[in-house]
Amino acid sequence: MSDAPAPLYRLPIELRWRDLDAFNHVNNANFMTYLEEARIRWFDSLGEEWVTERTAPLLAAVQMNYRLPIPYPASIEVELGCGRLGTTSVTLSHRIVGAGGSPLYADGHVVMVWIDRASGRPTPLPDAVRRAAGG
């Protein structure tokens, strides 16, 4: 997707044999696992609190476009960008690409909403996430 935001974070991943399905390519469910790993590593890389005893992020929406099957063996990268920064949520664009940026295997976005754990209601984004996402 040519209009993708500049990546905020890139996570290289080496495929594992167990990632494959009966058709000998990466099972579609593992694409979501790769995105989850990239998000958590990005949050952890901020070096500041992004989850607390009081607040936590929830995955509110996922949109995934499967462009090509990922064959084995392969080295891939997950790229995350900021598509939209809200008061209580951030929309992270994602691309799963081959090492070096090509080919494009999948793209789309996720919406992460921070909530108050006690009430379940949305709460403002952590400052660290807001700054890192460009806000």
Query: For residues 89 and 111, what is the distance between their CA atoms, to the nearest angstrom?
Result: 7
Q: What is the pLDDT of residues 103-128, one digit of tens each?
A: 999 999 999 999 999 999 999 999 99
The token pair at 68 is: 């090509």
Predicted confidence (pLDDT) per residue in 4-53, tens digit: 667 999 999 999 999 998 888 899 999 999 999 999 999 999 999 999 99
Q: How far apart are CA 85 and CA 76, in angstroms?
A: 27
- Which residue type does 82 have? C
Give the three-class secondary structure for 110: strand
How many other C-beta atoms can be found within 10 angstroms of the C-beta atom of residue 24? 9
pTM of the model: 0.91
